[in-house]
Chain A
Amino acid sequence: MVFSKQIDVSVKTLLKNRTFSNTLTITEDIKYLVVLAYATFILVSSVFFNTPAQIMQGLFHLTLSPSILLSDYMAIGNIGAAFFNSGLLMIVALVIARINKAHMNGVIIAAIFTIGGFALFGKNIYNIWPIFIGVYLYSTFQKERFSKFILVALFGTALAPLVSQVSFGLDLPRIVSIILGYFLGITAGFILPPLANHVVKFHQGFNLYNIGFTCGIVGTIFMAVFRSFGLENPATFIVSEGYNSILSIYLFSLFASMILLGIVFNNGSFKGFSKLMERSGKLVSDFVISDNFGLSFINMGVLGLISTCYVLILRGNLNGPVIGGIFTVVGFAAFGKHAKNVTPIFIGVFIASFVKVWEVNAAGGLLTALFGTTLAPISGIFGWKFGVLAGFLHISMVANVGYLHGGMNLYNNGFSGGLVAAIMVPIITSLRKVDNDEE
C-alpha cells in the first residue's frame, strides 16, 4: 500500500513536471519503482485466484517439485501460487540489481521479466540461489566485483532445475540429494561466466537468449554424466488448461497498463516508436538507452498484446509456460524485440506447424513461437524472409535438443536458437558478400 502511494506520487510528479517542461526526467529511482510496482502487482494478484492458505500450500508443492521441463507451476501448485512465486522472484532479481547499482536498462528489465516468466514453470525460491552463489564465487575467484556478473547470475538461473531435479527427482536419501543438488548448482554457476562470454561469438549476437545456449551446453554435460551413472530424467509434461478467460483479462490489463505508462513517460505520445521499430535487435540493442524508458514500455505492452493474441487466436491455452513465454517476450521488448522483427518468426513457426508434425496450438508449438523470437535479430538484420526461415528451422531444432540436457535447461529455445543462428548467419552473410562483391 505504501509502495502504491509512492508510485502514485511519482506519476503525479511526472505529470506536474510535464506542465512546465516537455522533457521528462526519469530517474533510476523511478525506473526501479515502476518495475517493482509490476513485480509487486504480480505477487499480490495471486490472491485474486486463490486464498492465502491455498497459495502457501501451492508454493510448498512447486518448490519441492523437480521443476524440469515442462513443469507448469499452475498445475503443480495453483494459479495463485505460481503468480506469487513469479512476483517474489522478480523482487529478488530487482533487489540484486539494485544492491549492485545496475542501471534499470533494457537488459535488466529483460532479466527481471524473464525470471518472472520462468518462475511460472521452473524457477523457485529454493533452486535459484546455488546459481547466484556459484557466479558470486567465480567473481571472488577472479577478484572482480559481482556487479560485473549479475547478468550471468540472473539469466543463469535457467539451470535452476538442475538443483531441483537432483534434490527431489533422484532416488537418493533426501539430505544427500539436497547437498548434491546445491553443490552441482553452485558448480554450474561457477563455470557459467567464462562460457557465456565465450559462446556469444558462436551465434554472433543473433540469438538473444545467449545464456540459453550456454546453459544448454552445460546442461548437456551434466546430463551426459548423469546418464553414465544410470540416472535418467523422466519425460515430464505437466500443463494446465481451462483458464483462458480470467488469464486473458489479467494479461490484457497488464499490457495495456504498460502502454499507458509508456505514453506518460514518453511525453504523452508515441513519438519515436517507429524509429525503435527500425532497430535490428541484434545484441546489444538496449532500447532504454537508445530510445527511452517510455518507448520501451510502450513496446513491451504492444508485444505483450500481440503475443497473447497469437495464443488466443490459435485457440491455445494460457498456462504457466505459455505466460512465461509471453513475459519473456515482454521483457526482451526492452532489449531487442519489437513487432517488426518477431512477426516473421511467428509466421515461420506457424507455417512449419502446418507442414510438419506439430500442432500449432499445442503447448509445444506455442512455446516455440514465443521463445523462438530469440531469433528476432535475424529478421532485423537480414529481412523478414530470413526471419520466417529461422522460425521454420527453429521448430525442428528445438524439438531435438531437449533430450540432450534432460529438460534441465529452461531456456531450451535459447539453446536451439544458438544453433540455428550459428548455421544461418555465416551462410546468409557469405551469400550477401557475394552479392556485394558482384555489385
Chain B
Amino acid sequence: MRSKKKTIKIISELIGFCYDAGIKDINVDIKRGKKEITIVVIGKTSKDIEEKVDNLRRLLNTPLEPQMEEYYFELVGETGHAEELSLVGMIIDKAEVYYTKDTLTIRVYKKES
C-alpha cells in the first residue's frame, strides 16, 4: 500500500515537471518487478528545454538519503519544483535522464523496501 502510494506520487512529480516544461505529449510506463519498480516517463516537445533537463538530471541524481523518505515523503506531489524533485532524488535508487532533439526520457528505479 505504502509502495503503491509512493510510486504514484513520484509519477505525479515527474509529470508535474513535464507540465512546467511545456511538454504536451506525455507517456508513462511502469514496470513492477519483485524487488524493484521502474518508472519511465517519455515526453515529446518542440521547445528547447535542455537547461531544464540538465537541472532535472542533477536533482534526480541527488544522493540517496533513506532518512528523508519516512519524514518528508508526503511533500512529493505534482509541483515539479526543485525542492520536491530533489526529494525524489533522495528516495529513489537510480535515475537516468535522456534528451535528444524533441524527446525527453526519464527512467527512475526504486527498490521495494
Nearest residue, chain B, Cβ from A155: B71
When distances are taken between beta carbons in the complex, the residues of chain B under 8 Å from A107 are 65, 67-68
A284 touches B83 (CB 8 A): yes
Q: Which residues of chain A come closer than 8 Å to B66, judged between CB atoms?
A: 145, 147-148
A102 & B75 in contact (Cβ 8 Å cutoff)? no
Question: Which B61-75 residues have C-beta < 8 A from chain A?
Answer: 62-63, 65-75
Q: Are A286 and B70 in contact (CB under 8 A)?
A: no
Please judge, given known A-B contacts A103-B65, A204-B75, whether A284 and B86 are in contact too, CB under 8 Å. Answer: yes
Are B67 and A205 neighbours in the complex by a CB distance under 8 Å?
A: no
Give 1 or 0 for each of B52-93: 1 = CB within 8 Å of chain A CB: 000000000011011111111111000001011011001000
> Are A197's CB and B72's CB within 8 A?
yes
Known: A284-B83, A284-B87, A289-B86. Contact between A150 and B72, CB under 8 A? no
Q: Is the interface of A mostly helix, strand, loop or mixed?
A: helix
The one of A105, A197, A285, A290 that contacts B70, using a Cβ cutoff of 8 Å: A197
A151 touching B68, Cβ below 8 Å: yes
Do A283 and B70 have beta carbons less than 8 Å apart? no
Contact of B113 among A144, A193, A280, A289 (CB under 8 A): A144
Which of B62, B63, B65, B83 interacts with A205 by CB under 8 Å? Answer: B83
Contact A284 B68 (CB under 8 A): yes
Query: Please, which residues of chain A bring their CB within 8 A of the CB of B73?
Result: 197
Question: Distance in Å from the Cβ of A211 to the closest Cβ of chain B?
Answer: 8
Q: A283-B83, A286-B86 are in contact. Are A197 and B65 (CB under 8 A)?
A: no
B75 touches A200 (CB 8 A): yes
Q: Is A284 a contact partner of B75 (Cβ separation < 8 A)?
A: yes
Residue of B nearest to A199 (CB): B74
Count of A-B contacts judged by CB separation below 8 Å: 71
Chain B residues near A285: list those with CB within 8 A: 83, 86
Interface size of B in residues (CB-CB distance below 8 Å): 20
A200 → chain B, closest Cβ, in Å? Answer: 5
A residues less than 8 Å from B86 (CB atoms) = 284-286, 289-290
Query: What's the dominant secondary structure at chain B's contact region?
Result: helix
Closest chain-A Cβ to B65's Cβ sits at a distance in Å of 6
Interface string of A153-165 (1 = CB under 8 A from B): 0000000000000
In Å, the complex CA distance between A200 and B73 comes to: 9
Once bound together, how far apart are the Cα atoms of A205 and B87, in whole Å? 12
Known: A289-B63, A289-B86, A290-B86. A198 touches B74 (CB 8 A): yes
Are B70 and A149 touching (Cβ within 8 A)?
A: yes
Residues of A within 8 A of B74 (CB): 197-198, 200-201
**B62: A residues at CB distance < 8 A:** 289
CA gap between A200 and B75 in the complex, in Å: 7
Q: Using CB atoms, name the residue of chain B closest to A290.
A: B86
* Nearest CB in chain A to that of B68: its residue: A284
B80 to chain A, nearest CB (A): 14
CB-CB < 8 A to B87: which residues of A? Answer: 284
- Min CB–CB distance B106 → chain A (angstroms): 20
Residue of chain B at shortest CB distance from A151 = B71
Decide yes or no whether A375 CB sits under 8 A from chain B.
no
CB distance from A280 to the nearest CB of B (A): 7
Verify B83–A103 contact, CB threshold 8 A: no
A-B pairs with lowest CB-CB distance, top 3:
A151-B71, A148-B70, A284-B87
Residues of B within 8 A of A (CB): 62-63, 65-75, 81, 83-84, 86-87, 90, 113
Add 5 more A-B contacts to A103-B65, A147-B66, A152-B70 (CB < 8 A).
Answer: A100-B67, A150-B67, A193-B71, A205-B72, A285-B83
